[in-house]
Structure 1
Amino acid sequence: MNKSPQETRVVVGMSGGVDSSVTALLLKEQGYDVIGIFMKNWDDTDEFGHCTAEDDAEDVRRVCEKIGIPYYTVNFEKEYFDKVFTYFLDEYKRGRTPNPDVMCNREIKFGEFLNKALDLGADYVATGHYARVVEEDGEFKLLRGVDANKDQTYFLNALNPYQLSKTMFPIGHLPKPEVRRIAEEAGLATARKKDSTGVCFIGERNFREFLSGYLPAKSGEMIDIATGESKGRHDGLMYYTLGQRQGLGIGGSGSGEPWFVADKDLERNILYVVQGDKHHSLYSTALVASGVTFASGRDELAAGPKSCTAKFRYRQPDQGVTLTALADGSVHVAFDERQKAITPGQAVVFYDGDVCLGGGTIETVEKVPAEQPQQTLSL
């Protein structure tokens, strides 16, 4: 028997931002028994001794008191370090570009936090993500947020059926300007607060300085992949990602076109670069993904290859792909059209219309052969 809102406890993960603030407000207005929880995942005291988490916790307090709901702070620093930050460092050691947001959502926000909420008697957890969960014939599906510019299903692709069944996304049907308007009208302290960007544990700090504090950087040679000529020295492979054009320190030589990171050789500590964005080394026709999971909990490839769309980076337009299961449990993802700068370590996320089917981690890419003409490929 379904409970009424008044009998349903929802624990809201509150970050001190406007999205989670409005999430709590809407649930309270709908009559739910709402509890706010501020998750402290990182000791982010800066070099001046100022902790931004304290500011966020204060904003959570002000919002919860305004709404009229109880609130608590829960410390997940150890769990975050063990499950997210260690993974983050390990990926950079391997010369890859990790996606800690995907890992944080799976392991912390919808893992540790969900378990803590259930201990508090919660029926559901809720967050301020721009996404939707719908139930159809007993199956829970993850749908894109209505605001296409803010949709966050890319970062939620690893959630399993149980996690989806226990999750609410109350602002997933709203555009961002409407969320801010609701916060303004309600007089919430976070109504005009700037959205947080970047990796939470780095904050406003310089990325290179932060990373070098944990991993030693090793300078090496930078080579033009098209000519074999040396173009100087790189500062450490971990600082560069495929397709990157900023921060290479190469002057406007040759054609005057910008330079891009084309490849990385971890064993020889060589950074390969190329001038212009048309060179075949920047493009690939397929990838292999590991750790692929589907939100349905089923093996969606058991019946054979599957055509759908995919994203290889956040906010990228959907790309047509064909998925094929491989014998080792990984998935081969063939592209309808060649793709630029596919990056190992990042997430590949699959869609069927508005439904997020699931995703995995990019392991390897199949590059466009050197002799292949540089036109769009149809596989």
Structure 2
Amino acid sequence: MIAARTIVGVSGGVDSSVAALLLRDQATRDPGDAVAGLFMQNWADDGSGDCRAEDDRRDAVAVCGRLGLPIHFRDFSREYWDGVFAHFLAEYAAGRTPNPDVLCNREIKFKHFLDAARELGAERIATGHYARIEQRDGRWTLLRAADAGKDQSYFLHQLGQEQLAATLFPLGDWLKHDVRALAAETGLPTAAKKDSTGICFIGERDFREFLSRWLPARDGEIRTPDGRVVGTHPGVFYFTLGQREGLNIGGVRGFEPAPWYVVGKDVGGNVLYVDQGSDSPWLQSQNLWSETAHWIDGHPPARRFASSAQTRYRQAAEACEVDVREDGSLQVRFQRAQRAVTPGQSLVLYDGDRCLGGAVIAATDAALESQLQPHLERNHAA
């Protein structure tokens, strides 16, 4: 059998199914451009009954069978544990909110999957991500997808020149409703399958219950920023800034009957801070400081430059000024105050539709964070 030139990651979802379909059709027109699928198992069955890996595997096999493509299988669960999940737990234990999808792309899909594809004789890989890749002036660029509502460049900002040169995103110019329509028209078994949401290894189960297996509950006080106790919590690491759900704060004497939101966490003291109102001033920050940044080009566009940035997925990009510091970390000042910028999450920078790169958020100038973590170095010059 001729080795496939392109190995497409088939996850058992509709997006990767249509990506495989488009590549197969392209290979039909060019017999030298053979395609095969590869299903990755990234999470070992933990016995909870909530892992859908076997269902997804069956769907991936059915899709490749329908398309007449050979399919390969690789178990990356150990690599996922070491490269993604261990970091996920460490970040939550430290009171931060990590983004495992960013690490999964960097460590699994565009590292171990790419290596496996090359071992199978392929030149490149493809996935069902909504993003675009172009070559400009001899450099590979990562661009937002045509479907702004599905764009996944935020999760791909840790890729570099080597990965982009060996990757295809067949859905980059497609709209999601057209993807589903094509899947239905061609009889793909995943055409009506619901998109997966949330963190892949948690699935549909309760997040707090899942996390408590590794980070045991430890009750503590819920306080307002001025120190008044308004409730109790099962562990500060179960909550993130701006969160409303799960606080279980009833009517509190002396306060309006308005929703409460997490505005700060004191991990050492096991205290969760809350305030009323989704736009509480305690959630606002205008400056952030990051860990060492990654640049898709291999270097920043300048030592100081104007950009737009997202501090969470599906957020509208906001104008900002970026200073690259001597150690490679960033200081970023937004033109207007931002809500619930969260340490551990990713700051991703853009020039129009072009993704420049990004970094993990280390700290902000939110008033309560500055009080709770005064040891964090923020204000030295870039």
Q: Which residue of 2 aligns with 1:3?
A: none
8 Å contact 1:282–1:341 — kept in the other structure?
yes
CA distance in 2: counterparts of 1:214 and 1:279, whole angstroms: 32
Q: Secondary structure at the match of 1:30?
A: helix
Q: Secondary structure at the match of 2:291?
A: strand
8 Å contact 2:279–2:339 — kept in the other structure?
no
Distance 1:190 1:277, change over 3 A: closer
Alpha-carbon deviations, 1:218-244, whole Å to 9, x = none? 11111111x321112111011110011
8 Å contact 1:237–1:269 — kept in the other structure?
yes
* Matching of residue 9 in structure 1 with residue 8 in structure 2: no
Distance 1:193 1:277, change over 3 A: closer
Distance 1:328 1:51, change over 3 A: closer
* Identical amino acids, percent of aligned pairs: 50
8 Å contact 2:264–2:368 — kept in the other structure?
no
Q: Secondary structure at the match of 1:291?
A: coil
Q: Secondary structure at the match of 1:73?
A: strand
Shift of 1:137: 1.8
Among 10, 19, 25, the alignment partner of 2:21 is 25
Shift of 1:368: 5.3
Q: Which residue of 1 aligns with 2:285?
A: 284
TM-score (ref. length: structure 2) = 0.91
| One-letter code aligned to 1:171 | L
Q: Which residue of 1 aligns with 2:53?
A: 53
Task: Structure 1: give runs of 5+ residues left out of the alignment.
Answer: 1-5, 371-379
Alpha-carbon deviations, 1:8-57, whole Å to 9, x = none? 71100110000001101101101131010000011135435x75211111
Q: Which residue of 2 aligns with 1:373?
A: none
Matches within 5 A, 1:1-379: 9-31=5-27, 32-48=33-49, 52-225=52-225, 227-253=226-252, 254-301=255-302, 304-367=303-366
8 Å contact 2:51–2:203 — kept in the other structure?
no
Equivalent pairs, count: 361
CA distance in 1: counterparts of 2:268 and 2:178, whole angstroms: 51
8 Å contact 1:285–1:368 — kept in the other structure?
no
Alpha-carbon deviations, 1:188-236, whole Å to 9, x = none? 11111110111111111111111111112211111111x3211121110
8 Å contact 2:40–2:76 — kept in the other structure?
yes
Q: Secondary structure at the match of 1:162?
A: helix
8 Å contact 1:280–1:369 — kept in the other structure?
no
8 Å contact 1:44–1:201 — kept in the other structure?
no
| One-letter code aligned to 2:229 | S
Question: Which stretch of structure 1 is more off in the superposition, 190-199 or 272-281?
Answer: 272-281
CA distance in 1: counterparts of 2:46 and 2:115, whole angstroms: 27
Please tell me the root mean square deviation across aligned C-alpha atoms, in Å. 1.7
CA distance in 1: counterparts of 2:93 and 2:21, whole angstroms: 42
8 Å contact 1:130–1:150 — kept in the other structure?
yes
Q: Secondary structure at the match of 1:203?
A: coil
Q: Secondary structure at the match of 1:337?
A: strand
Distance 1:24 1:283, change over 3 A: same
Distance 1:279 1:120, change over 3 A: same
CA distance in 1: counterparts of 2:110 and 2:103, whole angstroms: 10
CA distance in 2: counterparts of 1:85 and 1:369, whole angstroms: 29
8 Å contact 2:222–2:231 — kept in the other structure?
yes
Alpha-carbon deviations, 1:234-281, whole Å to 9, x = none? 110111100111111112441222111111111111111111234321
CA distance in 2: counterparts of 1:176 and 1:360, whole angstroms: 28
Alpha-carbon deviations, 1:160-188, whole Å to 9, x = none? 11111111000110000110111111111
8 Å contact 1:217–1:238 — kept in the other structure?
no
CA distance in 2: counterparts of 1:293 and 1:180, whole angstroms: 34
CA distance in 2: counterparts of 1:243 and 1:183, whole angstroms: 38
| One-letter code aligned to 2:183 | A
8 Å contact 1:59–1:190 — kept in the other structure?
yes
Shift of 1:297: 1.0
Question: Which stretch of structure 1 is more off in the superposition, 166-175 or 327-336?
Answer: 327-336
8 Å contact 1:220–1:235 — kept in the other structure?
yes
| One-letter code aligned to 2:20 | A
CA distance in 2: counterparts of 1:45 and 1:239, whole angstroms: 20
8 Å contact 1:144–1:355 — kept in the other structure?
yes
CA distance in 2: counterparts of 1:271 and 1:35, whole angstroms: 50
| One-letter code aligned to 1:103 | L
Alpha-carbon deviations, 1:296-334, whole Å to 9, x = none? 112333xx3110100011010010011101233210011
8 Å contact 1:45–1:52 — kept in the other structure?
no
CA distance in 1: counterparts of 2:280 and 2:63, whole angstroms: 52
8 Å contact 1:224–1:231 — kept in the other structure?
yes
